[in-house]
Every structure is written in structure tokens, then in C-alpha cells.
Amino acid sequence: MAVSNQKGGVGKTTTAVNLAASLAAAEREVLLVDLDPQGNASSSVGFPRAQVELGTYDLLMREASLDDVVLATELPTLSIIATTPNLLGAEVELVDVPTRESRLLQALARARARERWDFVIMDCPPSLGLLTLNALVAADSIVIPMLAKYFSLEGLGALHSTIAAVREAFNPELEIEGIVFCNHNQRTNLAQMVVSEVQKHFPQHVFTTRIPQNIRLSESPSHGKPALLYDIESKGAQAYLELAQELISRAEARA
């Protein structure tokens, strides 16, 4: 699953990290792939990018195998492919590379990722470049974090067009897994209006779980921990545990 939104500041990395950790806490084998050069997902589970020797860049450039770059985290069933500083140059370096849009897909397939992990969660940059494209080509589905604000509706429309284009050109199987509202305050009229509008246009795709505004979610990355390891009783950690259960239920229903 790719966790993506072309608009920044919507809770994308927070969702990728805490959804992956919550699925792992539910005793699923999970691989988190950090495709964002900022490396926030990596540092949120204890791997600041300056301290990582081999990571996503090396995998995409075929300078390392998947087994070379997978790192264990504090959660026994959660692994990560972390970001290194040189991922910043990957967008440019991949431009002239054959099959540049499917490097990640090929690496995961060679390593039999589907057999080894129950979920592979990919954190994308907040833009549509070759890194995000690699995630969308490799993914079965996409989780879309968004805010219940007016401009987020415009961003959702742009992302929907991008998904349609990727389906047509590279990955006809790509589906929307679900839309999750983050940093949510359901008491405001605007939030209720935006949620209602999204539900009208995407009736099967909006997750029931809402991620509330929560200071613990903001604090936990600075401690190199997902929220459930930082403060499992917090509303943010509990919300992501609920989101993971909702996701698991959907997957089981499809199966």
C-alpha cells in the first residue's frame, strides 16, 4: 500500500508510520518503505537518515538487494527500508534509467515480498515524481490521508486524476484502499461539510476511523518511536490501532 497525497502537511508520514506500527502490533508482518528524501518515517522508528548506510536509494539504483537494506525496528514484526541522504538525488538519476518507474516493483518481486510480509506500507514524498510513481506502480492500493479543509478537496481531485493516469499507463490493478481524515476536529462545520462531500464522491472509500488532533502524535517522532510505543493510551495511538483493525477487516472481507 502506498500512503500518498500530493499536498503536504496532511498527516501522510504520521499515517504511514503509525498504521505500519499498528498493523505490526496486531501481529502482522509489516515492511515500511521510506521513499521520502526527508526521511521522517525512518527517524520516526529510530533511524535518522544520516545514520543509515544502505536504504531506499541503494535498492532503487540496484546497488543493494532488498535483504541488504531491510532493518529491524523496536517492534518485532515491523521492518523498514530507511532513507539515506543520497535519496535526494534519485529523482534526477533515475530519469535516464530503463524501466525507471518500476524499480521498486522489481526489487520487491525479486525478494518475494508478498510471501514474506502481510503488508508493505510505502511512505511517498508530497509530490508526483519518480519516487512516488515507483510506489504507485508497485502498490495494490493507496491510502490517502487528508485534512477536512477546503483546499484538501482540490488536492484529492488532483490525486484521483494521478491514480487514473497511473492505472492507464503502468498499473491497471491500482485501487483506492481508503481515505483517512487526519488532525480531525469533527465539531467544526467545515470539517463536517468536507467529510460529507468526500463521502458523496467516494462512498466506499472513506475510513470510519478519524485521527484526532493529538499532541502525542506530534511528540513521538522526536523520540524515534511510533505513537503506540511512546504513549499507547493516547487518543492518537488508539485511533491508529482502530484504523489498522478497520484495514485488516477490509482485507479479510475481500479475501
Predicted confidence at residue 153, as pLDDT, reads 77
Q: Tell me the domain boundaries of the chain.
A: 2-247
Q: Which three cell numbers stand for residue 235?
A: 487518543
Residue 81, SS3?
A: strand
Predicted structure pTM score: 0.95
Taking only the tens place, the pLDDT of each residue in 35-67 is 999 999 999 999 999 999 999 999 999 999 999
- Quote the pLDDT of residue 14: 97
pLDDT, one tens digit per residue, over 171-221 is 999 999 999 999 988 777 778 888 988 988 888 899 999 999 999 999 999
User: Percentage of the chain surpassing pLDDT 90?
Assistant: 79
| Residue 23 binned pLDDT confidence (cut-offs 50, 70, 90) | very high
Give the other-Cβ count within 10 Å of 68's Cβ. 13
Report the alpha-carbon distance of residue 73 to residue 44 in Å, rounded.
10
pLDDT of residue 131: 96
Residue 103 has pLDDT above 90, yes or no: yes
pLDDT at 120 over 90: yes
* Second CATH level (architecture) for the domain 2-247: 3-Layer(aba) Sandwich (3.40)
Q: Is the pLDDT of residue 113 over 90?
A: yes
Distance CA 250, CA 255 (A): 9
Q: Could you tell me the pLDDT band of residue 148, with boundaries at 50, 70 and 90?
A: confident
Q: Is the dihedral of CA 215, 124, 66, 50 positive or negative?
A: negative
* CA–CA separation, 76 and 207 (whole Å): 27
Per-residue pLDDT for 155 more than 80? no
Mean predicted lDDT score pLDDT of the chain: 93
